[in-house]
Amino acid sequence: MNHPAFSKSNVAVITGGASGIGLAAAKHFAGLGMKVAIADLGGEKLEAAHGEIVQTGPALAENVISIGTDVTRIDDLKKLKELVDKAFGGTDILMNNAGIQPGSSVFDAKNWDHIIATNLMAIVHGCQIFGPSMIERQKPGLIINTGSKQGITTPPGDPAYNVSKSGVKTFTEALQHELRNTKDCYVTAHLFIPGFVYTALTKGNRTEKPSGAWTPEQTVDFMMKSIAAGDFYILCPDNDVTRDLDEKRILWAANDIIQNRPPLSRWHPDFESRFAAFLKETP
């Protein structure tokens, strides 16, 4: 059974809604009879996504709007809320899903500001702009923030992305604590942590989905079941990585601090054999 926020005629706003997981979520919500607003950079991609969603199930043209939005601009996010309020009367579900991963390195400033602004600060600002009025509605609502496993185990190779997604985890934990301690608040926050999903962000030069990846639709289905179960941490598996393996990787990363090991010891040559043994021995 779905969470009550996914009721027919309720309103969902999805950033990064023109492709990948965002588009799959928009189609799913529209198929439930919800009113859906997708926000993404304006252009043909957004127009095409709008057309796809309108064709979904019982969704009618008047129940779907697409709004060109640069999530790194606070004024754009405020305008997004204004247009949604005008069209649909408010928001019940906010899915902060927009994200980028152009690559980064520690000592090269290129991409850092844009990655942090898109992946982290847009989520912070989105919650600050939409959250208060969602609480005031005094009805079940959801704020779903898209994080990443890279924000938890922080593998080497793309530090700006890892920092942004680590921030999303910390912010969303604080957000849920704030919401559950707010009187007459029926809105909950959830940290959405996809696995390997075949999207425009991850496909690179590939033209076909790798066997190890999930589709965006599979990922959204898992998200829906997790929210219905009341999960805050929506830790998605994929066809290569099970939840059990994810849990062991997360536990090893946490033990770097507890055992005073070098940071990112999972990738340190002195700990390679110990990590392999840990994976076999840990129940």
Of 31-40, 51-60, 95-104, 235-244, the one with minimum mean pLDDT is 51-60
pLDDT band at 14 (very low <50, low <70, confident <90, very high): very high
Tell me what the mean pLDDT of segment 22-32 comes to: 96
Contact 48, 20 (CB under 8 A): no
Burial class (CB in 10 A: 0-12, 13-18, 19+), 211: exposed
Predicted local confidence at residue 237, as pLDDT: 97
To the query of whether residue 233 is one of the catalytic residues in this protein, the response is no
> What pTM was computed for the model?
0.96
Contact 152, 198 (CB under 8 A): no
Question: For residues 5-17, b (16+ Cβ closer than 10 Å) or e, as one string?
Answer: bbeeebbbbbbbb
Per-residue pLDDT at 59 exceeds 80? no
Per-residue pLDDT at 273 exceeds 80? yes
pLDDT band at 199 (very low <50, low <70, confident <90, very high): confident
Per-residue pLDDT at 57 exceeds 90? no
184-198 confidence digits (pLDDT tens): 999 999 999 999 999
Average pLDDT, the chain: 96
Predicted local confidence at residue 217, as pLDDT: 97
Per-residue pLDDT at 204 exceeds 80? no
Question: Which structural domains are found in the chain, ordered by start?
Answer: 4-240 (3.40.50.720), 242-283 (no CATH)
96-144 confidence digits (pLDDT tens): 999 999 999 999 999 999 999 999 999 999 999 999 999 999 999 999 9
pLDDT band at 207 (very low <50, low <70, confident <90, very high): confident
